[in-house]
């Protein structure tokens, strides 16, 4: 019965609180509050170190990460991505023709809101859109080819600060709001939201793993996880997070995934790209 009373109280609280119509969200205000929350809660963590996820939270793990990152296993993916980037499509064109600055050093601008289609375009969607525009089959967004090419593109952007833009377009604001809603909504039988772990519990353990802070959490993607024994794209990471809380993962390319990445990367504006990353 607790659940019923809690919900009733919540509804009352909602209406009594300053009327926050569900429609309006204020990205700039959210950004300031989000940044303030993490910097005040973890005063000893330098701002740019948040992009190192669990390693900004735990000395023991950081030491192991440093040992692995000295010659990390994602080097093969970066090498493969570099070769894929240089190999022209059957029609002679290549990825360089699809992306600003020939695709080099631009990962920090994605996800990008496309005012023509009114949709959020993540780096992974952009790669597939480029392939399809040139008559090639799109990659499976959770598999190694996509991980290799995005690993190379991330590698060429290392150190560049996130620069995610929300244009003055109601559809962009709606996408941002959708991402924020996804991030804060509880799901799965374990009834957790992304925030339950990455806002309320960064630095705490879920068995051996240490939870990463949400601030800067997309900067290291794609990642080579020892647990997977291989590379993982942003899509694969979101899907496994869903499954961990016993929520059914969404299909690759789902707009909710693009929206939550849009929200998260916007929250990390100014923080440097650290991908591809090595993680437990």
**Residue 20 interacts with another protein (CB under 8 A): yes or no:** yes
Q: Which residues pair with 106 in a beta bridge?
A: none
Whether the CB-CB separation of 216 and 271 falls below 8 Å is answered with yes
Asked if 184 is part of the footprint of another protein (rule: CB under 8 A), the reply reads yes
From the CB of 18, what's the least distance to another protein, in Å? 11
Min. distance of Cβ 76 from another protein in angstroms?
5
Buried residues in 170-203 as b, exposed as e (16+ CB within 10 A): eebbebbbbbbbbbeeebeeeebbbebbbbeebe
Among 48, 79, 114, 161, binds another protein (CB under 8 A): 79
Whether the CB-CB separation of 183 and 263 falls below 8 Å is answered with yes
Radius of gyration of the chain (CA): 19
Q: Is 204 in the site for another protein (CB under 8 A)?
A: no
Give yes or no for residue 37 binding another protein (CB under 8 A): yes
Phi, psi (deg, nearest 5) at residue 203 = 90, -20
Nearest to another protein of 23, 92 (CB atom): 23
Cα-based torsion angle of the residue sequence 226, 127, 214, 64 in order, rounded to the nearest 10 degrees: 20
Site string for another protein, 88-117 (x = CB under 8 A): ------------------------------
Identified binder of another protein from the candidate list 8, 67, 86, 133, rule CB under 8 A: 67
Q: Is residue 229 a contact point for another protein (CB under 8 A)?
A: yes
The number of angstroms, rounded, from the C-alpha of 193 to the middle of its chain's C-alpha atoms is 15
241 as an active site residue: the answer is yes
Residue whose CB is less far from another protein, 7 or 133: 7
* Active-site residue, from 14, 130, 197, 241: 241
87 binds another protein (CB under 8 A): no
Residues 6+ apart with CB under 8 A from 116: none
User: Residue by residue, what is the 3-state secondary structure of 4-29?
Assistant: HHHHHHHHHHHHHCCCCCCCCCCHHH
10 binds another protein (CB under 8 A): yes
Gap between the Cα atoms of 39 and 54, Å rounded: 15
Number of residues forming the site for another protein (CB under 8 A): 62
Binding site for another protein (CB under 8 A): 1-3, 7, 10-11, 13-14, 20, 22, 29-30, 33-34, 37, 60-61, 63-65, 67-68, 70-71, 73, 75-76, 79-80, 83, 180-181, 184-193, 195, 199, 206-209, 225-227, 229, 243-248, 250, 254, 256, 280
Catalytic residue positions, numbered: 241
């Amino acid at each position: 019965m607790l659940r019923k009373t809690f919900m009733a109280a919540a509804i009352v609280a909602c209406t009594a609180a300053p009327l926050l119509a569900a429609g309006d969200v204020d990205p700039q205000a959210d950004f300031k509050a989000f940044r303030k929350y993490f910097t005040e809660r973890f005063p000893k963590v330098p701002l740019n170190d948040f992009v190192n996820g669990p390693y900004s939270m735990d000395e023991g793990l950081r030491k192991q990460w440093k040992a692995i990152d000295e010659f990390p296993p994602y080097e093969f993916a970066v090498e493969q991505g570099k070769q894929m980037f240089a190999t022209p499509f059957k029609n002679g064109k290549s990825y360089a023709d699809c992306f600003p600055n020939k695709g080099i050093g631009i990962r920090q601008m994605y996800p990008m809101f496309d005012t023509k289609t009114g949709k959020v375009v993540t780096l992974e969607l952009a790669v597939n859109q480029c392939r399809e525009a040139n008559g090639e089959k799109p990659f499976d967004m959770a598999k190694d080819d996509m991980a290799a090419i995005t690993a190379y593109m991330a590698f060429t952007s290392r150190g560049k600060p996130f620069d995610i833009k929300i244009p003055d377009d109601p559809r962009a604001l709606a996408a941002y709001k959708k991402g924020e809603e996804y991030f804060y909504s509880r799901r799965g039988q374990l009834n957790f939201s992304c925030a339950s772990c990455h806002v309320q519990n960064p630095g705490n353990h879920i068995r051996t793993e240490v939870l990463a802070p949400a601030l800067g959490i997309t900067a290291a993607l794609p990642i080579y996880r020892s647990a997977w024994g291989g590379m993982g794209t942003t899509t694969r990471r979101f899907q496994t997070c869903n499954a961990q809380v016993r929520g059914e993962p969404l299909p690759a390319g789902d707009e909710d995934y693009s929206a939550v990445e849009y929200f998260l990367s916007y929250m990390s504006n100014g923080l440097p790209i650290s991908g591809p990353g090595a993680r437990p």
